[in-house]
Amino acid sequence: MLLRAINKIKEDIKVIYDNDPAAKNIFEVLFCYPGLQALISHRIAHKLRYWHVPFIPRFISYLTRIITGIEIHPGAAIGNRLFIDHGEGVVIGETAIIGDDVLIYQQVTLGGTGKESGKRHPTVGNNVIIGAGAKVLGNITIGDHVRIGAGSVVVNDVPDHSTVVGVPGRVVHQKYVAPDGTLMHNRIPDPIRCELNRLKYEVLDLKEELEKLRSQIDTHH
């Protein structure tokens, strides 16, 4: 068990190096990255909760929130290689499920929508990026390879390979790909602007048709 835990930490450290060019050395990563600290603490609390140890898991979560600014309920199920970047204000609810290779920025909430019982928090798939300040609420499913724009509020299921932006979140099936083949989460399409542009061109087409009709009428007169 100890060897497995050490391998998990090594994997988490590698993820930080892969995703953050500001990570300079192992000491910075261990002592200056609250996301890593919160994740290690959560694994301990989650295991104790699984063993039905009372009080201590929640107290560990509480202390972790004070130290790191990240609140992860001991009941949340978190997959491999989660990277919480910056982390301040991140909240992950009790019944939340997070897949592998997920990137979460600061001020993100994976929360509920009320006092309902049972599964009341989101299920997040693999290879998902959740932008700063995004709120993902309720017992909804976020598919694989999804990008959620900063400040979005998501309250409905999101299919695989989608981008979500806005309040409430709107699904846009559009991906920006970097030269190396990776999706660029900082290139988020604006569905409102796209719709306005579509309407603009429709109006221009109608004006052109109207001008043709006017010309035909003038010719007949």
What would the 3-class secondary structure string for 31-75 be? HHCHHHHHHHHHHHHHHHHHCCCCCHHHHHHHHHHHHHCCEECCC
Is the model's pLDDT at 192 over the cut of 70?
Answer: no
Longest dimension (CA), the chain: 93
Lowest mean pLDDT among 2-6, 55-59, 125-129: 2-6
Is residue 186 very low, low, confident or very high in pLDDT (cuts 50, 70, 90)?
A: low
As a whole number of angstroms, the distance between CA 63 and CA 67 comes to 6
What pLDDT digit, counting tens, does each position of 76-126 carry?
999 999 999 988 999 999 999 999 999 999 999 999 987 778 899 999 999
The pLDDT of residue 181: 43
Q: Confidence band (pLDDT; 50, 70, 90) for 19?
A: confident
Instruction: Give the mean pLDDT of 206-212.
Output: 84
Is residue 163 predicted with pLDDT exceeding 70?
yes
> What is the pLDDT confidence band of residue 129, given thresholds at 50, 70 and 90?
very high
pLDDT at 145: 92
Residue 182 has pLDDT above 80, yes or no: no
Q: Are 166 and 158 in contact (CB under 8 A)?
A: no
Nearest to 74 by CA among 59, 62, 58: 58
Considering only 16-20, 51-55, 142-146, 177-181, which range has the smallest mean pLDDT? Answer: 177-181
Least confident of 50-54, 194-198, 211-215: 194-198
Answer yes or no: is pLDDT of 177 > 80. no
Give the model confidence (pLDDT) of 132-143 as tens digits.
999 999 999 999
In 10 A of CB 128, how many CB atoms? 24
Q: What is the pLDDT of residue 2?
A: 72
